[in-house]
Structure 1
């Protein structure tokens, strides 16, 4: 288990991290979200001991040792491969830095290339690969030594939907074997699909923390999806309706002032008869992100 306990970091007059705390358990995926400059990369760099900080970070209840760092797989936001090396040379080199010998790494390479659908041969130079295939090679470098702690800084950036799905499968496979995983992303769909929990940073402070469901439920079931032949204007006139969004033929999303209005709206629209769709839900993670990133802190 990774424990981050009351860490703070200042760069000159800038408070990059301000009393940040969270845990990530074995076999758990945590999403670290926030706007650019919120403190996500600084948090990662603190965990990796790239910089000094105030507070404490432990792995399985103890400070990190050199051997523990060999069990980390880290994908930086700024991708960095050596263009003149071949795929094999690049992967073997980085794996050896994690104390995995070449004789263990080399037999795995072809399988990992197939897994990520890398177009090229192990003997191809990095510089001859497309940008997308270079990114997949870096992902292989991050995962090939079967790390127990995986830190991915914007791993989906630049990946098309097909390759993003390949990465998701690899992340879920690592979770299945018990790895502790933390990744940052600006795509809330990826966070909702993959993560067990999340931490949202704003100006270096934690403003949201918890399981995906518990975070969404904090904001109430204020989103109502329904199919009806009522007009948009008629729906907007109902008590408790803040805004009406037209989603398609006879389909709407109602934003409510109070989730308690849902029952009254159901009674009015249904008139006691069957309707094909009426679903009252908390806001999506994307909507919450937009509100929290641009609005006041949520304590």
Structure 2
């Protein structure tokens, strides 16, 4: 494994009697994309703020780049997109990016050149001389994303980077994140959208109630979860499948999406038994496939529906 870019050792953080992060330990290796996953209120944003040095741990320690210096002293090596987007709304877009570049030690002329290149890459160059407040929220997010990358950081930390973006702009930013990782840089991003993490991440950690629940490569996490899983797509007559899907001697768990479902077979049950039962009942199928468990299914099984909703409204 590549040497750790970030090492978190038994870190705890409390706020007024609430433990947001509880004895958390993990390593983020250099290079690739690491997903920090969890329900709302799990402690994701608090963990990121601890890594950034915005908050100090009550217990434990965090080491970046194997350096004795703290994250603030290493800020020129880090790019950060916070969950709470924050730009100076009265500044012009280009001036804002130049300012952000200068705060990272880039000369003004170089910062201007880099800012113009990023605005072009993100498709907002026509807005360079507009005030930030004139941009849509999605465009403002792209500008702040550019500001986090302008100085070519070794470690890129993105807190819910795709939140609020339409599919086209989310794809643009996703492609850039993947390209950054391909260059050998490290990307840490937090999300509660499992599909994003499953498509993009090399490694993941799932936390709930501030504690580690799952940690490892995506392939390893799926292998460790085990079981046999089936993806179903229905064409019609799904109601005829109700009794079959409720048979716990055949199916251990059902993740029902309405027109489709992901199932975990019960111990000793065979997918062919399930298929035969569905055909016998006349259930219309457009898909029947034995699959790996999805991160979504693992997330629900490990975190639980109760934990996934218990922290609604609590700061992450």
Q: How does 1:201-240 map to 2 (within 5 A)?
A: 201-225=207-231, 232=241, 240=250
Separation of aligned partners in 2, 1:246 and 1:71: 43
CA distance in 1 between counterparts of 2:92 and 2:191 reads: 29
Is it true that 1:283 corresponds to 2:293 in the alignment? yes
Contact (CA 8 Å) 1:238, 1:265: kept in 2 or not?
no
How far, CA to CA, are the matches of 1:119 and 1:290 in structure 2? Answer: 41
Which moves more between the two structures, 73-82 or 52-61? 52-61
Aligned residues between the structures = 291
Deviation at 1:84, TM superposition (A): 1.1
Establish whether residue 165 from structure 1 lines up as the match of residue 175 from structure 2. no
- Counterpart among 56, 61, 70 of residue 66 in structure 2: 61
Q: Name 2:14's counterpart in structure 1.
A: 10
1:14-58: CA deviations, max 9, x gaps?
A: 111111111112212111111222111111111111122121211
**Partner of 1:156: helix, strand, or coil?**
coil
**TM-score (normalised: structure 2):** 0.81
Deviations 1:76-95 (A, max 9, x none): 11111001111111111111
270, 285, 289: which one pairs with 1:262? Answer: 270
| Cα separation, 1, equivalents of 2:306 and 2:40 | 17
1:272 match: none
Matches within 5 A, 1:33-72: 33-53=37-57, 54-65=59-70, 68-72=74-78
* C-alpha distance in structure 2 between counterparts of 1:246 and 1:58, whole Å: 42
TM-score (structure 1 length as normaliser):
0.85
Gaps of 5+ in 1: 270-275
Aligned partners of 2:66 and 2:199: how far apart in 1?
29
Please list the CA deviations of residues 102-147 of structure 1 after superposition, one character each: whole Å capped at 9, or x if unmatched: 1211112222112211263322111111221111111100111111
Q: Deviations over 1:209-263 (max 9, x none)?
A: 1111222233223321368999637855695234676976xx87543122x4236
RMSD across aligned C-alpha pairs, in angstroms? 3.0
Structure 2 segments unaligned to the other structure (5+ residues): 278-285, 308-316
